Amino acid sequence: MIETALPAGMTASRIHEYLRDAPYPATREDLVDYAREAGAPDDILLALERLPERRYASPDLVTETIGMLM
């Protein structure tokens, strides 16, 4: 298992709060748009905008990738 660390103040549940009903698989752009419409704060949007462009199969994969990037 790869160790990942989310930025301070950012938790998987906090990220999932804004992506919980997003349709998966989803691209980075889909996730950013969905989170923005769900009212996600700037720190969540910035983290999503930094994701590599690909299709994400689940919110868990999104948070794992954010943790690897930070």
Say if 3 falls within a structural domain: no
Say if 65 falls within a structural domain: yes
Give me the number of domains the chain comprises: 1
In sequence order, what E strands does the chain have?
26-27, 55-56
Say if 54 falls within a structural domain: yes
Say if 48 falls within a structural domain: yes
Say if 2 falls within a structural domain: no
In angstroms, rounded to a whole number, what is the distance separating the alpha carbons of residues 31 and 35?
A: 6
Say if 1 falls within a structural domain: no
The tens digit of pLDDT for each residue in 1-55 reads 444 567 677 788 899 999 989 999 999 999 999 999 999 999 999 999 999 999 9
DSSP bridge pairs for 53: none
Structural domain containing residue 59: 12-69
Say if 34 falls within a structural domain: yes
For residues 51 and 19, the answer to whether their CB atoms sit within 8 Å is no
Label residue 67 by pLDDT band (50, 70, 90): confident
Reduced to 3 states, what is the DSSP secondary structure of residue 55?
strand
